[in-house]
């Protein structure tokens, strides 16, 4: 657990640096007089479509790496490990199929999006460059997680990618990049840049050795690999579609769809800040979960499940409350476009959705690395059956609030089914009474800060609300011992402080 805790903390720290850069980018994107709402919205649509391309092109290769890496590691010397070679080959071939499909469906895309999102149609083909970079990076990232480089991959994805965007924004604002046309074309290469960086890093660290010779492990497990990828392929598509379908529907069916995708995109970014710790914990936990299933260590699985649940819930509640307390005030104080105020209610529902997903721990990863990985597909189908029609209907009815409602309902049912499955099959359960105490503590601290400082405006009000909430909530978490990881973390901090004092 100490390894997971250490990597999770470092990864979370890196991710939050990335989000700080991301928030700076968002400020530039949404500030009066910089980019139009449509132009900002197009960047959100680019990322959403690139994620869909990745889901189709990667053909479940990240899942294959996560499930079978321990077998390759245990039975092959590094130079004969062909896992990454075949994963990249399959990913590249998959993306060629995506490109062919993209050419075929271009007339359909034009009909569906030209009226409400003309920018999307105009820059349609440039999205494929971003999608290819996303695909290659995701495959390399899955491999890097398993060779103990999750912190570096989080740095690339959360910090370097956003820094590249920052550079492009600054060049655009200073008119070195003279127009938006060149900006968005250069933006499409950003994921390819970090994919190349990760590939070079893994080569230099001697963590990968590409070989086209089929290994004994590949031959032995080929049928199981194909069966796994066949089932999980659809599951990955379902999961990714559930993540980006709302943005695509907004761009397709609402008037000024690209602009409203930008408003909704800001709410989603704030929701992503809430979910940031989940990325670090998942990345650090995955290799241990695979190993635990291989060794049938149910005690470790239960421990990781419950600790991931309470740790993510604590972080999530804290961040959700802080953003909710300051969302509207931040838009006004930092002189963002007034239209972004329309996204507050959507953010609240997105925030609740993130808490549901985080509070249920690493259930997806536990199921995905088990022998019951097929259940991920079945539960994903249920998610999609609920989400797709609900998103379309509610978006037409409630504008950008509609997809937030649909996602909250769908994700709650989805996670509920997975919790029930893990309990029935393995007696694994994520919650304890500490989970309830965390929710009550966060609600109480939020209410106190809202009532005390609701009349305070501007930056002083935002700072004071945030400081008081962190003080109250942090004190409650520490003295209430809401997570078993709090003591080791505090002890480690004290040791470091003492050693620095002695030196």
Give tens-digit pLDDT for 8-66: 666 667 777 887 888 888 888 888 667 888 888 899 889 989 999 999 999 989 988 88
The two tokens of residue 406 are 């649909």
Q: How far apart are CA 80 and CA 118, in angstroms?
A: 50
Tokens 């040791």 locate to 495
CB 384 within 8 A of CB 241: yes
For CA atoms 151, 156, 157, 158, the dihedral sign is positive
Residues 6+ apart with CB under 8 A from 313: 355, 358, 359, 435, 438, 439
Q: Is the pLDDT of residue 435 over 70?
A: yes
At 139, give phi and psi (nearest 5°).
-65, -45
CB 365 within 8 A of CB 318: no
Q: How far apart are CA 365 and CA 379, in angstroms?
A: 13
Alpha carbon dihedral 443, 446, 448, 452, in 10-degree steps, equals -160
Residues 6+ apart with CB under 8 A from 318: 442, 469, 470, 473
- pLDDT, residue 490, reads 59
Output the pTM of the full model: 0.76
Q: How far apart are CA 82 and CA 500, in angstroms?
A: 45
- pLDDT, residue 502, reads 57
Residues 6+ apart with CB under 8 A from 188: 46, 126, 127, 129, 130
The two tokens of residue 327 are 């969302």
- pLDDT, residue 493, reads 53
Q: How far apart are CA 438 and CA 320, in angstroms?
A: 13
Q: Is the pLDDT of residue 4 over 90?
A: no
CB 137 within 8 A of CB 195: yes
- pLDDT, residue 9, reads 65
pLDDT digits (tens, 9 = 90+) for 206-251: 888 888 888 888 899 888 888 888 877 877 787 788 778 888 888 8
Q: Which residue has the higher pLDDT, 328 or 287?
A: 328
- For the chain, the average pLDDT equals 87
Question: What is the mean pLDDT of the segment spanning 189-215?
Answer: 91
Q: How far apart are CA 388 and CA 44, in angstroms?
A: 19
| Cross-strand bridge partners of residue 31 | 336
Q: Which residue has the higher pLDDT, 1 or 109?
A: 109
| Cross-strand bridge partners of residue 336 | 31
Domain residue ranges in the chain = 2-431, 441-503
- pLDDT, residue 269, reads 85
pLDDT digits (tens, 9 = 90+) for 132-142: 999 999 999 99
Q: How far apart are CA 418 and CA 410, in angstroms?
A: 13
Rg (C-alpha) for the chain, rounded Å, is 23
Q: How far apart are CA 402 and CA 395, in angstroms?
A: 4
Q: Is the pLDDT of residue 497 over 80?
A: no
CB 218 within 8 A of CB 82: yes
Q: How far apart are CA 183 and CA 174, in angstroms?
A: 12
CB 269 within 8 A of CB 343: no
Q: How far apart are CA 134 and CA 193, in angstroms?
A: 10
Q: Is the pLDDT of residue 3 over 60?
A: no
Share of the chain above pLDDT 70, in %: 93
DSSP characters over 229-271: HHHHHHHHHHHHHHHHHHHHHHHHHSTTHHHHHHHHHHHHHHH
Question: What is the mean pLDDT of the segment spanning 299-310?
Answer: 89
* Helix 401-426 × helix 374-398 angle, to 10°: 160
At 419, give phi and psi (nearest 5°).
-60, -45
CB 435 within 8 A of CB 309: yes
DSSP tag of 336: B
DSSP characters over 322-391: HHHHHHHHHHHHTTB-GGGGGGHHHHHHHHHHHHHHHHTTTHHHHHHTSTTTHHHHHHHHHHHHHHHHHH
């Amino acid at each position: 657990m100490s390894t997971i805790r250490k990597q999770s903390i470092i990864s979370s720290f890196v991710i939050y640096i990335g989000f700080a850069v991301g928030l700076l980018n968002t400020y530039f994107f949404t500030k009066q007089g910089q980019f139009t709402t449509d132009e900002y919205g197009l960047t959100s649509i680019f990322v959403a479509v690139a994620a869909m391309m990745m889901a189709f092109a990667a053909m479940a290769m990240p899942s294959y790496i996560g499930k079978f890496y321990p077998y390759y590691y245990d039975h092959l010397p590094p130079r004969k490990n062909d896992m990454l070679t075949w994963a990249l080959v399959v990913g590249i071939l998959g993306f060629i199929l995506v490109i062919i499909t993209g050419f075929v469906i271009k007339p359909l895309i034009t009909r569906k999006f030209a009226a409400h999102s003309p920018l999307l149609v105009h820059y349609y083909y440039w999205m494929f460059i971003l999608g290819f970079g996303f695909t290659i990076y995701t495959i390399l990232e899955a491999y890097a997680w398993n060779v103990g480089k999750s912190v570096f991959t989080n740095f690339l994805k959360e910090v370097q990618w956003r820094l590249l965007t920052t550079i492009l924004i600054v060049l655009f604002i200073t008119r070195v990049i003279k127009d938006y046309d060149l900006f968005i074309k250069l933006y499409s290469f950003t994921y390819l840049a970090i994919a190349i960086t990760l590939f070079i890093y893994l080569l230099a660290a001697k963590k990968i050795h590409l070989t086209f010779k089929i290994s004994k492990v590949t031959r032995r497990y080929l049928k199981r690999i194909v069966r796994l990828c066949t089932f999980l392929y659809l599951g990955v598509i379902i999961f990714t579609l559930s993540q980006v379908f709302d943005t695509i529907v907004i761009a397709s069916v609402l008037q000024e769809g690209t602009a409203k995708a930008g408003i909704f995109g800001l709410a989603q970014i704030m929701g992503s800040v809430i979910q940031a710790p989940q990325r670090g914990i998942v990345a650090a936990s995955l290799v241990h979960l695979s190993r635990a299933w291989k060794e049938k260590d149910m005690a470790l699985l239960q421990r990781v499940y419950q600790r991931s649940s309470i740790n993510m819930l604590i972080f999530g509640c804290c961040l959700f409350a802080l953003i909710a307390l300051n969302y509207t005030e931040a838009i006004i104080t930092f002189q963002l476009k007034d239209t972004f105020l329309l996204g507050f209610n959507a953010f609240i529902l997105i925030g609740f959705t993130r808490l549901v997903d985080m509070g249920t721990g690493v259930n997806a990863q536990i199921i995905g690395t088990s022998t019951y990985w097929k259940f991920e597909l079945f539960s994903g189908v249920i998610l999609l059956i609920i989400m797709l029609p609900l998103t379309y209907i509610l978006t037409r009815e409630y504008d950008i609030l509609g997809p937030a409602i649909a996602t909250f309902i769908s994700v709650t049912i989805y996670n509920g089914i997975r919790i029930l499955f893990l309990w029935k099959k393995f007696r694994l359960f994520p919650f304890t009474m500490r989970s309830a105490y965390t929710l009550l503590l966060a609600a109480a601290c939020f209410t106190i800060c809202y009532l005390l400082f609701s009349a305070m405006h501007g930056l002083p009000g935002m700072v004071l609300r945030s400081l008081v909430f962190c003080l109250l909530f942090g004190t409650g978490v520490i003295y209430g011992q809401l997570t078993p990881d709090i003591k080791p973390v505090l002890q480690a901090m004290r040791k470091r402080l003492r050693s620095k004092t002695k030196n």
